[in-house]
Structure 1
């Protein structure tokens, strides 16, 4: 049976910004209760009093999450080097039977240049290639017979070395994404390996994104 408290919990848990605001005690309970009156009344199919909603908000217990555990704090404090690479281009191609051959041409061209940033991600229907913009023409030439559906220039990558065992930490990426979203940093692309995490952002957001990730270690 639904109650005002369960409705409040459902709404708060579905909104990371709202949950963050409550945990940081920067939300006016009275104003929020007024705003939630209509949706909660609809959920319960009866009118509810704002005072009851406000009481449920004050009693709301945030679920134990990654930021409040000793284990997660240790992970963030042990984050490795943070590396920034700029002047990147992101290509999107439809998957095809010849795509791997096109990919091999790019690899052959850049294999001896260890200064080149390169990431290749193949999905079910499409493939993304992120590469230093200096090699943009290399990709265009190698993939000239493929169907290109996207291209974005003026991107930067921020890579973070994660401690071993990070894959066992529940909610690790959620905490990173939440803090970036809270600072209004939109992610263009996310690339990860077992112990390395990379976000791709537009150039004008790179300083803000770097600052957010660096503060994770504090």
Structure 2
């Protein structure tokens, strides 16, 4: 990897018009007053960086559940999957990955399988790091059925700044692990509901990389991991 590829990443097509808008405003700011123009340059670079879509090295071993989002593990707790997915009333282990405005916001499939359901629900725009955001905020939910018949729920949740959830897949689509399935604009969260009996292999506060970080192992027997900050 050369120095250029370290800092210059591919940009998701969804970001092109936003970068163009920021760039146009920057030109106007330079005309008004040069110091304002340089502020515009910084914001334009940030906008490009927000919509970056880097290549990820996706683990290929069967049974792994991979993080669908870049960010920090903000919650690990039992919770009932969104009712609109029809996955039943029993609580499952929910792992929440919170994305701030500096994280990559392209979302990736945590497991391979067939999309059994896609359900959008309008809602509020509370801070996505809060527990009640899973219930109250705008969200888009996917149920993915794996080859063994088990299902995993993946929920895109809008945050305090986010105002648009994008989903690029639909029911009956077949996803591969790490495949891009959506994007959330400007700060948000993604929840993963693990199958019954599966323990998470991440801890609260741990950083995650979409398409690379292992959240759980469906075939393993390792207990939930504990960690300490150092």
**Alignment TM class, shorter chain as reference:** under 0.3
The structure richer in helix per residue is 1
TM-score, with length taken from structure 1: 0.28
Which structure has the larger Rg?
1
